[in-house]
Structure 1
Amino acid sequence: MKLTSFDPSNQQALGRVAVATSEQVHQCVQTAKVYQQQWRQLPMADRVEIVHKAFMSVSPYSDELAVLLSKEMGKDIDRSTSEVRGAIFAGSHFAKEAGAALSPRADGSNISYRPLGVCAVISPWNYPLAMAVNLIVPALIAGNTVVFKPSEQTPLIAEKFVAYLNEHLPSNLLTIIHGDEEVGAKLVEHEDVALVAFTGSQAVGKKIMKTAAASLKRLVMELGGNDPMIVLKDADLDAAARFAVASSFENAGQMCTSTERIYVEKSVAQTFTDKVVAIASYYQTGCWDEPNAHIGPIVSQKQVTKIIDHMEDAKAKGAQVLLGGSVQHGNFFSPTVLTQLTPNMLMEREETFGPIVAIAEVDSVAEAIMRANDSDYGLGAVVFGQAQARDVANQLEAGMIGINKGPGGGGASPWVGAKQSGLGFHGGVDGHRQFAQVTVVG
């Protein structure tokens, strides 16, 4: 059986990959288990050097990979180029950082970090290389082997990237398989998978957790967000408006930390909204190679339908559409600004994942905080303001909170979600250590 990948801008077929059968999933895991016994015996410095060199070897293919990523996912060539080069750099950087984090500690605590075994990595389509690398590299450096299932929406870029890596990695260290949720479920339930590292939807994450419970597999999961932004009356409104539009429209809104709902103090709401509409009006949709396009296609018709459902629900419940609000053609959704967002709307309750700036006017800071926190999600959050900004940030229920900037600390900070936006986390010293078994000998 074959899986066909389509260009979301025109629905043309780009290529096909083989879908793994149950037996092939089993064989991949079994082979990975055997090889893991050899990989774990290598000194940490050797593992780091092998992974580092493999990622560096992909650099000459950056342009080729960027074009394929743009065609398959829909993002423009500049963003694809940044993702490809970023993934190569991150692979090398994380290898060294994880090597230091997972080496035996020299503080007299007798704590060491041992491999778990076979790690299943399941990654999403919106950042198909970046999100995968974040999980694959610490898993490998910890001494695990990896069986990798990319999203069925972006199999070709994953296949090509892994093929280049495997020209320089030892055999069976990193194996890729393809398929839909059913194939992913077979991988998760396999008795010899010790750790599941997943980035994707909350619904699928809950299924993985239920399946993994049977054998108490270790889990590292990032499960999306419905990120709020609070704009206080003393905020720099120009900066706040620029951020609101850029964050809401980034990657056509298909980013886990995109701003999904904005709460603005009443006294500045009209001024802020006018600035947002003015900025958003400059944005244009278009294919990956169109020089003036800022927003690419939505990845699939299924996702387009979800955005339309959220729009229709919002309008039926009183939202006012100030810009856009509809499908232009195919999978292209117009850049949209709407106001009068209310708590009973799907757009406030769920992750829309589209190019929409959704604004609510609030009577008080307390109301803004209450509505921002009234969600099962808790990945990122943002506050724009001066005097109260840090106090407000300290009251928000999210794993990553930005003050007058986007969420995520950068550098050695972990990528972490609160509430139902995650279980475990990755990145930084503590994140890398979640891919190993903490062991105390003394």
Structure 2
Amino acid sequence: VQGIPIQDGCILNKNPATGELISKVPITTNVEEIVEKAHDAFLPWSTTTSAQERIELLKKGLEEIKSISTELAPLITQEMGKPLLEAQGEVEGVADKDEYFQILQDALQPIQHNSSTVIRQALGVVVILSPWNFPADEILLLALPALASGNTVIVKPSEVTPETGRMVVESMAKYLPTNVLQVAQGDGSVGAALVGNTSVKMVCMTGSSATGKKILSTAAPQLKRCVLELGGKDPMIVFDSADLEKAAHDAVAYSLSNSGQVCCSIERIYVADAVHDEFCKVVSEKFAPNFKVGNGMEMENLVGPLVSTTQKEHVEAHVQDAIDKGAELLYQSSVPEDAPEGSSFFPVTVLSNVQRGMRPVKS
């Protein structure tokens, strides 16, 4: 989807800020073997350990991730571009899951209804297709409940962030029985092989609606359970009674977090006529210029590159479509003048008079 090159059976893992090669990651070719190992590990894991014992092992895995946070956060920035401060925040969130574990523990307890007792049972092998925008935390938000419930898990990280995914999975797996948690690397073809395997009982994916439809079409004949968190088109509405300073600040901050590459980021703004011009002025003159675009490893940069050159071309096409159809360009920042070939920086851009039928509104 992101145009990540594959060469000689390896993902060419590149830094979107520099275009430099980070690593060559071999694509998993033994998908059936990995699934079989997960299947064989399922019964011992689900029947010989209690939910509490499993949760305690998972907590040890999170402590392991916490111990490598100074390596993990920069790796996230290098692989997908988000500013280091945001990557550090993600890693801190990864390690802080006490409340989450309490919710899991409570949910796994038997529930008594008069003379009936409801008991949750593990399904078997669960496949997680994790996204690149939160490449560490999103793995755990899906893997922790699956593992605590007694399932075995195979994680296929996004091909954009393979090393981050590997580091998270291997850190957790240190404290788990062999083959309870595994990683598979590759592009959509590896994901499709995992989804289609009849020994896989559940698929969890965060990503595009198009990919979600493909997963559902494969899972349906097997009545395979799916958890899909797909893309949205989130609006912000500014009424004439709003605090314009706060609204403008939030509009910019929550549009540009993670370079706007968040499923719940602000993607379009509807402003009451009475305050429209003032709101646009505050956004474009006061707040947007504060967000400097550059390499996320440099702390003064609040907006990193887009995740790939494919994503950059996609955004460029959206902006140009709107301008060609009459949208007004209110502000556009600079990008690093010395940006190397293969980098994917895109300027902070503010458009007004954006109408239905323009790509930034409808897709």
* Short-chain TM bin: over 0.9
- CA contact 1:120–1:188 (8 Å) conserved in 2: yes
Partner residue, 1:187: 194
Matches within 5 A, 1:291-306: 291-306=299-314
Offset at residue 238 of structure 1 (A): 0.8
1:224 to 2:237 alignment? no
1:94 to 2:104 alignment? no
Q: Distance in 1 between matches of 2:64 and 2:96?
A: 11
Give ranges in structure 2 of 5+ residues lacking alignment. 1-8
1:34 to 2:47 alignment? no
Offset at residue 321 of structure 1 (A): 0.6
Offset at residue 88 of structure 1 (A): 1.9
User: What TM-score does the superposition give when structure 2 sets the normalisation length?
Assistant: 0.93
What is the one-letter code of the residue matched to 2:361? E
Matches within 5 A, 1:23-422: 24-41=30-47, 42-90=49-97, 92-108=98-114, 109-277=116-284, 278-324=286-332, 329=339, 330-350=343-363
Deviation digits for residues 303-360 of structure 1 (CA, Å, limit 9, x no counterpart)? 011001101110111100111178765311111100001110111011xxxxxxxxxx
Partner residue, 2:4: none
Q: Distance in 2 between matches of 1:66 and 1:179?
A: 22
Q: Distance in 2 between matches of 1:28 and 1:342?
A: 49
SS at match of 1:221: strand
Q: Distance in 1 between matches of 2:300 and 2:52?
A: 46
Partner residue, 1:435: none
- CA contact 1:123–1:151 (8 Å) conserved in 2: yes
Q: Distance in 2 between matches of 1:253 and 1:287?
A: 16
Count of residues in correspondence between the two structures? 347
Q: Distance in 1 between matches of 2:288 and 2:76?
A: 26
Offset at residue 93 of structure 1 (A): 4.1
- CA contact 1:55–1:88 (8 Å) conserved in 2: yes
Give ranges in structure 1 of 5+ residues lacking alignment. 351-442
User: What TM-score does the superposition give when structure 1 sets the normalisation length?
Assistant: 0.76
Offset at residue 180 of structure 1 (A): 0.4
Give me the identity figure in percent.
38
Q: Distance in 2 between matches of 1:299 and 1:195?
A: 28
Offset at residue 215 of structure 1 (A): 0.2
Offset at residue 126 of structure 1 (A): 0.7
Q: Distance in 2 between matches of 1:249 and 1:225?
A: 16
Offset at residue 189 of structure 1 (A): 0.4
Q: Distance in 1 between matches of 2:149 and 2:290?
A: 47
Offset at residue 107 of structure 1 (A): 4.8
Q: Distance in 2 between matches of 1:225 and 1:29?
A: 32
What is the one-letter code of the residue matched to 1:257? C
What is the one-letter code of the residue matched to 1:202? S
SS at match of 1:243: helix
SS at match of 2:314: helix
Q: Distance in 2 between matches of 1:282 and 1:45?
A: 47
What is the one-letter code of the residue matched to 1:80? A
SS at match of 1:298: coil
Deviation digits for residues 93-131 of structure 1 (CA, Å, limit 9, x no counterpart)? 433321211221145441111111110000110110111
What is the one-letter code of the residue matched to 1:69? I
SS at match of 2:301: coil
- CA contact 2:294–2:335 (8 Å) conserved in 1: no
SS at match of 1:294: coil
Offset at residue 44 of structure 1 (A): 1.4
How large is the RMSD of aligned CA atoms in angstroms? 1.4
- CA contact 1:116–1:144 (8 Å) conserved in 2: yes
What is the one-letter code of the residue matched to 1:299? V
